[in-house]
Amino acid sequence: MKNLKQIVTVMVLSILATPLFAAEDDAKAIGQFQDILESVDQKSFEMFRKALDQTDLANRIYSHQPITDGVREIFRGQFWEIIESGFLQGLPPVGSTTKAELVQFEFQDGRGRACVRFNLPRYEYTFQVFELRHDSRGRIKIVDWFDSSNGQSFSAHIGEELITVMPTKASTRELLTISDPTELQLFQVTEILKATRDGQPPRFFEIYDEFDERLKREPLIAKHATLMAYRLKDTDRFARSLDIFVEVHSEDPNLALMTSDFYVVVEDYESSFVSLQRYYQYFNVKEGALPAKLSALALATGKPDEAEKFAVAATVNEPELELGWWSLLRARAAAKNFEGALEAMTYLEDNFDHRLDEAKLRRDKYRAFASLAGSQEFKDWRAGRE
C-alpha cells in the first residue's frame, strides 16, 4: 500500500485552474469577490473585513454555543482581532506559494455562493464555501463560510473557540450531550477545554486519560483528541483517537474530507477512499482536485477501473487542472491501456509544456510508466511527435 505515497510524491500540482462559473453569475459580484481573493493571497484582512457584516456574524456565532456574558464582553471588545486570527488559521501559512483558487461561483437575485480551493503539499486540499449576498448599495457581503479543514462553518468554529476562553461548569454543562454530567465530569471537561485553549497536548491527555468512555465520545472532545494526537505525532494515540472520532462523527459528511486525510496518516487507504467518496458526493462542486485524489486512492487500493473513472471526471470537470491529466495518465498506464494513456500524454505536452520521452518515464518512481515506455504504442506516438 506504499503506492499512494509514491503517487503523492510525484503528482504535479497545478494552481492554474480557471473558475467554473454558473450560467447566471453576476459579473459585478464576481469581480468584487475576486478582489477579495487577491487580498487573501496577500494575507491581508482589510478587504475581507469590509465585506463581513459584524452584527450578522456575531449573531451566528452566539447561536452555536452557550457563551457567557463575560466572554461576550471580551468578544465585543476584541471582535476584529479574534475574527482575523480565526480567518488566518484557515489559510496556508505565511511564505506558502499556495493561492486561493475560485473553482465555482453562483450568484442570482442578490444571493449566492463561492467555492475556493487551496492546493496544499502532500496531495491535500482544503475548500472554503462562502455564503454571499448584496447589501442595499449592491456591494458583496460575506455572510459566513464553510471550511473543510475543520469541517464546519466559520461561525461554529469561532463559537467553539470562545467557549474555551473562560470555560465554566455552567457553560460546560450546556456544551455536553450527556444529560446528567457529574460534578467531576464537569470539572474534567472544563480543565480539558483550558488545555485546548492553551495549546498544551501533554496536559490535554493527562486529563483525557482519566475520562470515562462517555466523555471520550463527546463530539467536541473526540475531535480535539484526534487533533491533539496528530499535533503530538503520537501514532498509537492518534490511531486510538481516530477510531473514536470516526465512531462519533461518521454521520457528518462535513467532516468526511478531514477523516479521509486522517486515514491516509495511518495508511488505511481503503477507508480514506470510502470517506472521500462520501465527501465528494455531498460537496457537489464540479472541480478536478477531489476526483484526482480519489483516482490515486483507487490505484492504491487496487481498483484500476475506479481510478480511471475518477480521473476522467477530474479532466472533464476541470480540464485546466494539470493534476487531473496526470491522474488519467497513471490510471491508464496501470491498466495497460496504452492507447488511452497517449491521450493524457498528448494533453500534458500540448498544454503544460512537458516532454514525456522514454527516459523521463523510466526515471519516474511510478512503476507502471516503465511498461508504458516499453510499449509499441508509446514508441509510435513519440516518433510521430519528433
Determine the pLDDT at residue 12. 26
Determine the pLDDT at residue 25. 59
Q: Measuring CA to CA, how many Å separate 358 from each of 80, 85, 220, 229, 383? A: 56, 50, 52, 44, 11
What is the rounded distance in angstroms from the CA atom of residue 175 to the CA atom of residue 188?
Answer: 13
Burial class for 116, CB neighbours closer than 10 Å (0-12, 13-18, 19+): buried
Asked if 100 contacts 118 with a C-beta cutoff of 8 angstroms, the reply is yes
3-class state of residue 90 by DSSP: coil
What is the rounded distance in angstroms from the CA atom of residue 334 to the CA atom of residue 331?
Answer: 5
Grid cell at residue 181: 454530567
Determine the pLDDT at residue 15. 24
Helix count and strand count (H, E) for the chain: 22, 6
Determine the pLDDT at residue 14. 27
Asked if 147 contacts 159 with a C-beta cutoff of 8 angstroms, the reply is no
Burial 337-372 (b: 16+ CB within 10 A, else e): bbebbbebbebbeeeeebebeeeebeebebebbeeb
Query: How many residues belong to the chain?
Result: 386
pLDDT averaged per 10 residues, the chain (length 386): 37 32 66 90 87 92 86 92 90 80 91 92 86 91 94 94 86 87 94 93 96 94 96 94 96 94 96 97 93 97 97 97 96 97 97 95 94 96 93
Determine the pLDDT at residue 293. 96
